[in-house]
Amino acid sequence: MFNLPVHAMTGKENKKADPPNIIVIFADDLGYGDLSVFGHPTISTPNLDRMAFEGQKWTNFYVAAPVCTPSRAGLLTGRLPIRSGMSSDKRRVLFPDSKGGLPQSEITIARALKGNGYQTAAIGKWHLGHLSPHLPTDHGFDSYFGIPYSNDMDKVEKTDHYTLAEEERYQAYNVPLMRDKEIVERPADQRTITRRYTEEAVGKIKEFGKDPFFIYLAHNLPHIPLFRSAEFRDQSLAGIYGDVIEEIDWSVGQILEALKAEGVAENTLVVFTSDNGPWHVFRTHGGTAGPLRGAKGGTFEGGMREPTVFWWPEGIQPGVVRDMATTMDLLPTFCAITGTDLPDDRIYDGYDISPLLRGTGKSERETVFYYRGQQVYAVRKGDYKAHFITQLEYGNPTAHPVTQPPVPLENTATVLETPLLYNVNVDPGERFDIAADHPEIIAEIRAVMETHKAGIEPVENQLEK
């Protein structure tokens, strides 16, 4: 069945003489309120701020899941991760002992664009399978340089994560640094990882020259444990977390300067966002969701609504965009602006948002499904969001109880007899439940959810292999 929720978006008639270059910069565990352009009072992000002022700042941009692996699967395939077997109720992400990964049957952004003559490179965190045939070079990327999963895995010290979060011993984590399919450093020296990813990206921009390219740069940070280069140590007013974010912002600046130096900046689309919300239990080592409730791992807004910026001098209408969109919209949008065809043998969950980029139209997206594992916990339709199941976010709230608002300590799923209902435009912090006043809206959203669930076909689960 073909169910691409866009109209004639991938036809050859859309192809331009000079298709744009595309760079996606994906942070790890960055909170909605962690950039100065999104309201942080002490973290300085001048390069991202400039991107937002020259391009577009998106205030209602979501990810496919509130944790790493399924979120990344959703971005690269344009499909909810449950459709590719990349979500699980038992193991929420892939681990170093996992045998599974993104199936070869999936079509990534890289594979789609490569079929249309694009050069492709993956840099940074992958987390969609560290064994072949699940690596980036198995999925349409010409090259890969990075850490294949989270930077807190392969932990070799008995010291607990909370204590290690206060230190910067990269040797405590025996994570590998890979070049294509080979390990080139272990443990990876994470103190310089952001700088080295940046150098790799700049090198690729120079190498690719005038031919169209797609670069996927997925930082390992600000995921715990935090590391920063010597040049950024104690430079931020916001402590080590601020140092890490400001180095990522520096990285963005280096990439923009390289595009200008190579004469390709005008026709390059750069997208910056994050895979999920911030940790909320690591004291000053985690970020903030700003005005939003919740954090990484959960389905309140702070877990899945991300700070997002689009920059494309030649093709974008600058401004603030308040329409709803998700990372799953990137694949169909990229195909639309490059004239790339997609197979019509599968369901896509993304929409072409290029009219929003160009300032010529509105978003077709009316709903966002908030998955936790393989279950729909909440649904947003228009202004309103209904929670049908609630559960704590990631982390141990008994260690450093800094959650806001307060939550119970039992981390179990609660199916609500009466769902919670919020108008998340009026009340983005999800503080005022209005379910009693609008049972008809809950019924409408429940019907949308049930119709959606009925259309999900079971597939082999990759995370439980």
Active site residues: 68, 127
Identify the residue whose tokens are 């402590």. Answer: 239
Q: Note whether 5 and 350 are within 8 A (CB).
A: yes
Q: Using N-to-C axis directions, what is the helix angle for 239-261 and 46-54, rounded to 10°?
A: 50
Instruction: Give me 355's structure tokens.
Output: 């009219």
Instruction: Give me 266's structure tokens.
Output: 């005008």
User: How many helices and strands (H and E) does the chain possess?
Assistant: 10, 16
Cα–Cα distance, 171 to 173 (Å, whole number): 5
- Please report, as a single letter, which amino acid is at residue 438: H
Cα–Cα distance, 6 to 340 (Å, whole number): 14
Q: What's the chain's length in residues?
A: 465
DSSP lists the bridge partners of residue 321 as 58
Give how far Cα 301 sits from Cα of 2, 27, 336, Å. Answer: 30, 17, 29
Sheet of 367-372, strand order: 367-372, 375-381, 384-390, 414-423
Q: How many CB atoms are closer than 10 A to CB 57? A: 22
Cα–Cα distance, 434 to 61 (Å, whole number): 23
Residue (of 96, 92, 221, 219) closest to 154 by Cα position: 96
Q: How many CB atoms are closer than 10 A to CB 198? A: 23
CB within 8 A of 118, min separation 6: which ones? 19, 110, 212, 213, 214, 338
Cα–Cα distance, 309 to 226 (Å, whole number): 23
Q: How many CB atoms are closer than 10 A to CB 148? A: 26
**Residues 255, 78, 146, 31, CA torsion sign:** positive
End-to-end CA distance of the chain: give it in Å, rounded.
Answer: 28
What is the rounded radius of gyration, in angstroms, for the C-alpha atoms of the chain? Answer: 21
Angle, CA of 180, 275 and 290, to the nearest 5°: 150
